[in-house]
Structure 1
Amino acid sequence: MKRLILLAALVALPFAALADDERLPLEHFVQLPEYNEVSLSPDGRHLAITAPVDDQTGVVILDISDPESVSIAGGFQLSANEHASNVVWANNERILFGTNRQEGRLAQPRPTGRIYGVNVDGSRSRMLYGTDPGSRVFRMGTVLSTLPDEEHRVLILTRAHDSDRPTAQRLHIHTGSTRRVAISPIPFGSLVADQQGRVRLAFGPDEDGQATFAYRDDHGEEWQDFDLDFDQRWLNFHGFDGSGEHIYFSSRETGRMGLYRIRVEDQSVETLIESDTVEINRVLWSEDRSRVIGAIKRDGKPEMVFIDPDQPTAILQRQISAAFPDEFSRIVSFSQDTDLAIVVAESDITAAGYYLFDTDNLAASFLLSNFRELDPQRLYRTEPIQVESRDGLELHGYLTTPAGEGPHPTVVVVHGGPHGIRDEWTFNPEIQLLAHHGYAVLSVNFRGSGGYGHEFETMGYRNWGTTMQDDVTDATLWAIEEGHADPDRVCIMGGSYGGYSTLMGLIREPELYACGVSVVGVYDLPLMFEEGDVTESSQGIRTLERYLGTDEEDLIARSPARQVEKIEAPLYISHGGQDVRAHISHYNFLKEQLDEAGIEYESRLFPEEGHGYYKVENRKLYYGDVLDFLKRHIGE
């Protein structure tokens, strides 16, 4: 077991990519991550991890009492398309977790409202709260907090079909029995508990849709109006501090997500962290969770911003960061006595690795990592870039270049979403696969992407296929002008919205792209209102109207399937037969239009897959197709 002494350079890997004629096996790149979420038990003896296997994500509990001999203590498997998340240690012997429904790797996870429990040895596993699949009874629950004085109960937030008011209940962690604690005074809202498990804040929309808040003191007296002049649409509560005197929240008050603190007594608000470039996307707590000490922002590469750099946990975190100079490392979980912690470290060329860290001795033991077969020395660096659009907008993105001098054959990878989603500096096996086969890889956070503030994101609304597409084009032209991309060997590629952008790129810029690869793409905008799961709710319909608009002629004009006769470059398309987000009808309609226009294309359908591919054998087939297609049309 690798032993790491932090103050004496924890990690020292040479990171320059090595030239090597031998290709790493394709299967090393297309495996799913083995581990996602990790959480340390209060006594530091066990580690709960969420572990994806094909189309479900279960929970595995490891015995790490001896880091030199880690073993599996227990686990819990779920049904297809159900994915464990939000793991909570109720005590040293039992964990609780929620689940999401996700029908495809690229689909947006949707909470099921189920709460499961399992002992560390895998015994006494059961659903404690929620609704069985197919049931007509609707009830959803999420864990609000543990209860310091009740070892066998936790506090949960519940919603039911017969009430518009969320409730807080005590849930028995073995039997699933509940006892109501509080009812929200605000319909369709939510509740926040302090660190002693007392429900003290309620928030939600009023009759006019405006944010409204209510508060009560730690004695649980009557609810009082709480004046907080912030837009609820962009407001996230992170919790009370240890004293119960302050509440932390983030908001887009300045247009970009910042971090704030409310003093409960007089409802005054203190600004803690704001940025004039990007939004914060994760808050950092002290080792005892008594206060928020900082946040993470991703301006190019990720970095931590501390409220008080001299706070002990902030000092500890900086020591850990210094020991991983080429990676982004952070503490994700502490034991109850704070003597032990779990540290995760990753970079553009190293997948997430997890370490058990001794806070007294400043020593760490390696536990596990994802994509272990991929040698960082044979992968390629990703660098942040900045591009100016044709209308003067500052765009940010990333460029990964293979070995050798440029210009290189290049793949422009367009992210999905598209709104609220962004490309980040992180380990991406798809990008590394392409770079490993000799391609430069370019990605850009075009207008409409998340992470750069409300104004930047809304610039993309109703601009699919127009200014959003121009941003991708401008980034591609920048890569050519800077000598990174060979102008005759550029392919555009993407999934979901990225598939839409691929087709629109071929249509609008026939001289720029030598080929296109689209997977689970959206191809006809009117069809978004007719097929798929987005329109199953009124909120989904409103979201489509906000993102796409409602003018039928305009939607048709911005639909690639309606103008396939303009496609001149080779095209590869792939789809999942069970896709309910970019419904399979998009794929079928596009193929019909291509066939009628006499446009040649290559395609592959995976009948049992959804919006993105889970099964490794299917991922291997898909990426094998992609590599073969790229080699034939832009070389290596």
Structure 2
Amino acid sequence: MPWLSVTLAQAAEPTPPTVEELLRSASVSDAALSPDGERVAILREQTEGGKRKAIVVLTKADGSAAPVRVVIGDHDVKTVEWASNERLLVTISMWKSASGEPYGFSFYGFFLPYPLRRIIAIGVDGSNPLMLFADQAKVLKSQFDLSRVVDYMWDDPQHILMQIWSGRHEAWSLQKVDVHTGKSEQMELGTTSTDFWMTQRGVPMMRFDSTTRGTVSIQGRAPGETAWKLIRKARRDELDKLPDFDVAGPTPAPGVFLVAQAREGEDARVLRTFDIATLQFGEVVAQRPSRDIEEAIIDEDLKLLATAYREDRLEYQFVDPKLAAHFRGVNSYFGNTCNVRLYDMNLAHTRFIFNVTGPKDAGAFYMYDTGKRAVEAIGDRFPWLPPERLAGMEALKLKARDGTALSAYLSTPIKAAKGPLPMLVMPHGGPELRDKYDYDFMVQAFAAQGWLVLQPNFRGSGGLGRAFADAGRKRWADLMQEDVEDAVAHVVALGRADPKRLAILGSSYGGYAALMGAVRKPDLYKAAVSIAGPSDLLTLMATVRREEGADSLSYAYWLKTIGDPRADEALLIRGSPARRAGEITTPVLLMHGTEDSTVRPSQSKTMADAMFAAGKGCEHVLLKGEGHTGWQDSTWTTVVTQSAKFISKYI
């Protein structure tokens, strides 16, 4: 009676996901389409007999041949990418040796696990597998990371460009690596401050050198030139982008690149050409009113295919109107409710791989054939997280108390009880980042507690035009907080949130907003959680000045964004939660990575000391060995579970 088991399975009540399920490695890690569009590589992870196996599945795109399975073994698999139509590159992370000894390093008496990252090259039929740099035993033994590809060099099917660390020179080295033999030769040596290069058809033409806190010197070397020259200095944001000179990639014209930038008088970042030889900007290639161009999709022949921007969902502007029509059709296939990201394509632009995500879709890969106009599923990344287990999200439009138009996202837990629900407010970091309509691990983790989750895009957020970002300058403690409060009031007025069961949590600037919210509205929030958040703006500015220099771009940016410690001292004191701890009656949890170089852990310690000095007390958790971002899964588990446990005591 097979129908009986189906009926029973369908009748099962969906349950919200656990933190372990949300953090579990994807069953499909990556997918790639060969340049000619004939083959698809799918990177899978599965468990057999209690042991994890990473597997690459190689298939013909038209289904004309049986798939080939290549077993990689018990390793974290990261990416697949075609070096040519004949060779595939698989990036893996190895956490332990063949004898079972963990890889890592000692840090002040603590052993911190850290993987070895390697690339394996294989043939289209799984033949001739080899590890790149396999002929250099000393390099393999001494290097943690041998996975940084700079250029896949589509014009040269034999080689790719990679960068590896030269311990002898204390600098990155640019290497030309043979994907058939694994052997390499040095092409160029960077300086001690070099981070990476950008190339055009295998030739290094831009080099990025940086200081420890994010000021980047962009060097250029046009075709025919022998020496590097300074193009400009820029500041790196929390997404490791350069907001005022974000290089998207090369064009077919020698020495000409595409750069996203907002000039004085422009309200959003546009895409324009930049000539390294003349150091001059050219024509605007793409723009969108009041929306930043976030990404340029460039094919293997260096031709611009599309540019990406965001409304609530991800959108594209295509160079070819015919491709725009195909993309609209694919979006319609997914009900116009997901983010359909251009992930890979063949050179002829007849086959595409899309990575599709949404509030109720944790991610899946699909292939689209323009000739057949057919969408084919090639890999569900998290099959244990079906839509019915995930919280839904809706986009809210509202007005701030002064009439400014704001946007926010409200997520509702599955099986939500009737009547107003407890709500967690989650202001984002940056502050020049933004929240969006998409799958969010933390949102799902907290919605699984039965809470609404509100994500407001307050003044000062990025991606919504320069005027909107500039409206938050020096307004951290008032206008930006008012916008968060007005978003909360909007949801409460809708009858959705219980005004007596509200909490606030954020990371980085969002952590500051949580603390400042507790200062401003001691009766509004029943709990506040600050993760890596600043608490004393005067000492924060002093740290940036000391570490970056008074004449640095970073310091200049924060002077404009937070305020001048001399001219605006009263503003910074008034906007420092640690200096107003006596006004806080809300229970506070502080969490901070011990190795955070963006917001020093002393900021949380200062806040904790101030709370105890004021007779309030708080909880203070240190995340051993962790920085500002890029945490291990175990750390994310600690952050989410301890935050949820703390908040649940009060709402």
**TM-score normalised to the size of structure 1?**
0.73
Give yes or no for contact 2:364–2:379 (8 Å, CA) kept in 1.
yes
Query: Given the alignment, which residue of 48, 58, 65 partners 2:59?
Result: 65
1:153 corresponding residue in structure 2: 159
Deviations 1:526-561 (A, max 9, x none): 443577999378665555545434417444432212
Q: Are 2:611 and 1:594 equivalent residues in the alignment?
A: yes
Aligned CA RMSD, in angstroms, stands at 5.3
| 1:412 to partner: Cα distance | 0.8
- When residues 618 and 330 of structure 1 are mapped into structure 2, their CA distance, relative to the original with a 3 A threshold, is closer
Classify the secondary structure of the residue corresponding to 1:390: coil
Letter in 1 for 2:379: L
Query: Given the alignment, which residue of 370, 378, 381 partners 1:367?
Result: 378
Query: Given the alignment, which residue of 280, 284, 301 partners 2:313?
Result: 301
- When residues 527 and 39 of structure 1 are mapped into structure 2, their CA distance, relative to the original with a 3 A threshold, is farther
Letter in 2 for 1:523: S
Q: Distance in 1 between matches of 2:341 and 2:245?
A: 25
Deviations 1:599-625 (A, max 9, x none): 143454443544468454554454334
Give yes or no for contact 1:272–1:307 (8 Å, CA) kept in 2.
no
Q: Are 2:519 and 1:512 equivalent residues in the alignment?
A: no
Query: Given the alignment, which residue of 18, 37, 40 partners 2:33?
Result: 40
Q: Which runs of 5+ in 2 are unaligned?
A: 1-9, 46-52, 94-103, 105-115, 211-215, 236-241
Q: Distance in 2 between matches of 1:126 and 1:160?
A: 14
Give yes or no for contact 1:30–1:620 (8 Å, CA) kept in 2.
no
- When residues 522 and 71 of structure 1 are mapped into structure 2, their CA distance, relative to the original with a 3 A threshold, is farther
2:438 corresponding residue in structure 1: 426
Deviations 1:193-245 (A, max 9, x none): 54x5466789999xxx99998755xxx589999x99x9996233434555769
- When residues 191 and 625 of structure 1 are mapped into structure 2, their CA distance, relative to the original with a 3 A threshold, is closer
| 1:373 to partner: Cα distance | 1.8
Letter in 2 for 1:62: V
Letter in 2 for 1:551: P
Letter in 2 for 1:327: C
| 1:48 to partner: Cα distance | 6.9
Q: Are 2:286 and 1:276 equivalent residues in the alignment?
A: no
1:31 corresponding residue in structure 2: 23
| 1:38 to partner: Cα distance | 4.7
| 1:351 to partner: Cα distance | 0.9
| 1:431 to partner: Cα distance | 1.4
Q: Distance in 2 between matches of 1:90 and 1:541?
A: 44
1:149-548 matches, within 5 Å, as: 149-155=155-161, 170-173=176-179, 177-178=184-185, 180=187, 193-194=199-200, 196-197=201-202, 216=223, 220=224, 234-242=244-252, 248-253=258-263, 254-260=266-272, 269-285=282-298, 289=301, 291-310=303-322, 313-325=323-335, 326-335=337-346, 340-402=351-413, 403=416, 406-419=419-432, 421-528=433-540, 535=547, 541=555, 543-548=557-562
- When residues 161 and 233 of structure 1 are mapped into structure 2, their CA distance, relative to the original with a 3 A threshold, is farther
Give yes or no for contact 1:247–1:262 (8 Å, CA) kept in 2.
yes
Classify the secondary structure of the residue corresponding to 1:563: helix
Q: Are 2:131 and 1:124 equivalent residues in the alignment?
A: yes
Letter in 2 for 1:351: A
Deviations 1:431-482 (A, max 9, x none): 1233343322211122222212333334434433233222212222222233
Classify the secondary structure of the residue corresponding to 1:449: coil
Q: Distance in 2 between matches of 1:19 and 1:480?
A: 34
**TM-score normalised to the size of structure 2?**
0.71
2:4 corresponding residue in structure 1: none
Q: Distance in 2 between matches of 1:126 and 1:76?
A: 21
Q: Distance in 2 between matches of 1:214 and 1:440?
A: 52
Classify the secondary structure of the residue corresponding to 2:514: helix
1:573 corresponding residue in structure 2: 590
1:6 corresponding residue in structure 2: none
Q: Which moved more, 1:547-556 or 1:498-507?
A: 547-556
Identity %: 24
Classify the secondary structure of the residue corresponding to 2:435: coil
- When residues 123 and 245 of structure 1 are mapped into structure 2, their CA distance, relative to the original with a 3 A threshold, is closer
Give yes or no for contact 1:492–1:517 (8 Å, CA) kept in 2.
yes
Classify the secondary structure of the residue corresponding to 1:317: helix
| 1:262 to partner: Cα distance | 7.2
Q: Distance in 2 between matches of 1:27 and 1:434?
A: 9
Give yes or no for contact 1:572–1:603 (8 Å, CA) kept in 2.
yes
- When residues 366 and 567 of structure 1 are mapped into structure 2, their CA distance, relative to the original with a 3 A threshold, is same
| 1:564 to partner: Cα distance | 1.4
Q: Distance in 1 between matches of 2:564 and 2:73?
A: 48
Classify the secondary structure of the residue corresponding to 1:409: strand
Give yes or no for contact 2:595–2:625 (8 Å, CA) kept in 1.
yes
Letter in 2 for 1:74: I
Q: Are 2:86 and 1:92 equivalent residues in the alignment?
A: yes
Bigger RCO of structures 1 and 2 (CA < 8 A, at least 6 apart): 1
Letter in 2 for 1:153: H
Give yes or no for contact 2:29–2:78 (8 Å, CA) kept in 1.
no
- When residues 277 and 212 of structure 1 are mapped into structure 2, their CA distance, relative to the original with a 3 A threshold, is same
Q: Which runs of 5+ in 1 are unaligned?
A: 1-17, 52-58, 104-113
Deviations 1:358-417 (A, max 9, x none): 554444543333333222123332122223333443322212234355533221111122
Classify the secondary structure of the residue corresponding to 2:487: helix
Give yes or no for contact 1:155–1:197 (8 Å, CA) kept in 2.
yes
- When residues 175 and 22 of structure 1 are mapped into structure 2, their CA distance, relative to the original with a 3 A threshold, is closer
Give yes or no for contact 1:203–1:214 (8 Å, CA) kept in 2.
no
| 1:31 to partner: Cα distance | 0.9
| 1:563 to partner: Cα distance | 1.7
Q: Which moved more, 1:598-607 or 1:538-547?
A: 538-547
- When residues 534 and 144 of structure 1 are mapped into structure 2, their CA distance, relative to the original with a 3 A threshold, is farther
- When residues 550 and 223 of structure 1 are mapped into structure 2, their CA distance, relative to the original with a 3 A threshold, is closer
Q: Distance in 1 between matches of 2:228 and 2:638?
A: 59
Classify the secondary structure of the residue corresponding to 2:340: strand
Corresponding residue pairs, total: 581
2:565 corresponding residue in structure 1: 551
